[in-house]
Each structure stands twice: as C-alpha cells, then as structure tokens.
A = this chain, B = another copy of it.
Amino acid sequence: MDHGSAILLSLFVVFVAAQIGAEVAQRLKLPGVVGEIAAGCVIGPSVLGWVQPSEALDVLAEIGVVLLLFSVGLETRLDEMKRVGRSAFAVGVLGVIVPFILGSLWAHGSGFDWAKSLFVAAAFVATSAGITARVLQELGALQREESRVILGAAVIDDILAMLLLGIVTALQSGTEIRLSHLLIVLSEAVGFVVVIGLVGTRVMRRASNLLDAPINPLSPLTIVLALCLGLAFAATEFGLAAIIGAFLAGMIASETRQRDTLEHQTRPLLALMTPFFFVMTGTKVELAQFANLEALIALAVVTAIAIVSKLIGGWLGALGLGMRGALIVGVGMVPRGEVGVVIASLGLAGGVFSPRTYALIVAMSLLTSIVTPPVLAWLLRKPAIK
C-alpha cells in the first residue's frame, strides 16, 4: 500500500470509529465524546493497532479542537463573560494552586527532589477545555452560568499554567528566575486576551458589513475562519494554547450580525474535524503500561489526586453559584487531556522523569478526560433541587 493510500485508510478508520463510538455511547446515555475517546483507545496501538500516531493526524486533531473552541466562542458573548468574571478568576486561580500544591506533595512523597516535584506538579495543573466544551455543547448547556465560569476560568488557567511551566522549567534547569521577565510574560498574555476581547469585540460589531464585502458568497465564514487560525497562531506566540485564541476569535465573531449563519455553517466543519481530536486523544492511551497491580494502584492514586485537587479548587472558586453550580464548575475543570500529555512529553524529553512516570502522567491526563464527561452530563441533566 503506498503512502497516500495508507493515509486515506487511516482517515477513514478514525472517522468511522468516531461515529460508531459516539453512537454506542449515546445509546448508553453517555456523552458521545466518551465513545469517541474509547474508540480511539480501541483502534490505537494499545489494542488493535489499526491507527498509528502521525503528524498529519495530529494536525487534523489540532484543527478539530481549534474549530470546536471557535464554535464554543461563537455561542459566548463578552458581556456575559464579564458578568461572571470574578467567579471565573477565583476558579482559575484556585484550580491552579490546589492541584499544584497537592501534586508537588505527592511527587516529593514518591521520591522526586523538590525541583523535579514542582515540574511533575505542573502536569497536574492545566485544564484542557476541549473535553468539557464538547460536553457542554453536546448537551446544549453553553448558555448556563456555570459554562461561562468554566470557559472564563479555562482562559485564566491557561495563562497561569503557562507561567508556572516557565518557572518550574527554569527551576529544574537551574536557570535564574527573574521576576521582571515573569511579569513581562504575564502582562503579554493578559494583554493579548484583554486587547483581543475588548478591541476585537468593538471592531467586529462595526465590521459586519465588511464580512460581506468579498465576492465569495461564503466570505463571512472564510473571513472568521482566517481570524480563527490567525488568533490560534497568535495565542501560541504569547505562550498560550491555540484553543484560547480560537475561543477568543469565536467570541468576537459572535458580535457580528452574521452570527447565526456562522454558527450554522460551523456545524458541518465540527462534524468533519472534531472526531480526529477525540479519537487521537484516545489512541494515546497506553494500556500495556498498567498491566500490573502496582502500576494500577499508582495510577489510581495520581488520578484521584488530580481529580480531587481540581474539584476542590474549582468548587471553592465557584461557591458564589451555590453548591450545585460550584460542583458543576469543579467537575468541568477536571479534564487535563492533551495539555497534561504535552507537559509530560516536555518532562520526558528534558530528562526530568522516567518513561514510567511519563506513562503515569499521560494516563492520568487521559483518565481525567474520560471520567469527566459522564459525571458532568449527569450533573447537568439532573433536575435542580429547588
């Protein structure tokens, strides 16, 4: 089989597996995304080995999650985000501090020196907004107050996680940490989010006519997609995740009068591209690493710490929404997903920890993503106690 042929086959396999997985999950009253991740686990190297990770598939996955957060942004207004700003900030900050402290205590307790422990703990910190956003969208819950708090907190979380990663990398490598440098990095990231959010919103409110100016009848869509790709790239240049830029792009595009058309046209794009993200997340699960009891126990402990610490942080921050709302926010912040995987890869590449610790952190990140959707769906569907 030649190379082009092999790639088409893997596209087909990933796409079909996602559809089957989502359908089975939904028939079992679970969110479709659980089935997509599980399908990835089954067709990936761990079980059937039908699909091997490749750069092309990773790029499709990245485009998928970027489009997903863009569409979530399209359903979000800046004004509504501002209203929950205080809660979102508290959730973002506490959701970083609590996992970082508990994570570094666990790492030090398992024998890492302090510098390395802080690095390991950094992998406990960053929430991956993709999983939660997908569940909220699937259940039509994006307009709830809790959803806005989660999305706002995800932005804060990403800024803090980026800073923290910078600090622990410097500590680990013995580089001197300069406060002035950290302040510049922080203000650049905050500046990016604030400028895009405030200035972008104003510009887009007035730019609706410009979106229709090109001859291409689909130009409102193509222009905002260009904006989405551009801001996704720009976010990475400011040290943030690409999905933060994509979310901001969607949020400012929601100010245009073509908003409904854009939402409508984005749906087929999500149907084509997001399965690659969730299935590829599933293919990264390495079941073989946990074939013995000792490893399984270690995984259970790490995952429990990761879940409980984030839950406490998010819940404390969102107490203003009431017990139930705070619980939804806390659960929504739990998934670490691909962000944890990226930090674990950095740790492995930098020689901070062993392949075993790497596998542990990757598995923890993925496990938090797999257990969250059913719980979140259950909490959102359960009729409120009044």
Contact = CB atoms under 8 A, between A and B. Distances in A.
Contacts of A226: 12, 15-16, 19
A268 interface: yes
A216 interface: yes
A289 interface: no
Contacts of A242: 4, 8
Interface residues of A, number: 49
A230 B268 contact: no
B267 A218 contact: yes
Contacts of A214: 19, 23
Residue of A2, A15, A27, A271 with most partner-chain B CB within 10 A: A271
A325 B66 CA distance: 46
Nearest to A138: B216
A218 to B, nearest CB: 5
A60 B7 CA distance: 11
A269 interface: yes
A233 B8 contact: yes
A272 B271 contact: no
A7 B62 contact: yes
A218 B2 CA distance: 32
A282 B282 CA distance: 36
Interface string A251-277: 000000000000001111101100000
Nearest to A3: B55
Given A56-B59, A60-B59, A269-B268, A225 B5 contact: no
Dominant secondary structure at the A interface: helix
Contact of A236 (B4, B222, B268, B271): B4
Contacts of A225: 15, 271-272
A11 B229 contact: yes
29 contacts: A4-B62, A5-B236, A7-B59, A8-B232, A8-B233, A9-B233, A11-B63, A12-B229, A12-B232, A12-B233, A15-B225, A15-B226, A15-B229, A16-B226, A16-B229, A19-B216, A23-B214, A32-B215, A32-B216, A56-B59, A59-B59, A59-B60, A60-B60, A218-B271, A225-B272, A265-B267, A268-B268, A268-B269, A269-B269
Interface of A: 1-2, 4-5, 7-9, 11-12, 15-16, 19, 22-23, 26-27, 32, 55-56, 58-60, 62-63, 66, 214-216, 218-219, 221-223, 225-226, 229-230, 232-233, 236-237, 242, 265-269, 271-272
Given A4-B242, A5-B237, A216-B271, 12 more contacts: A8-B236, A11-B63, A12-B233, A16-B230, A19-B223, A19-B226, A22-B215, A23-B216, A55-B56, A56-B56, A56-B58, A265-B271
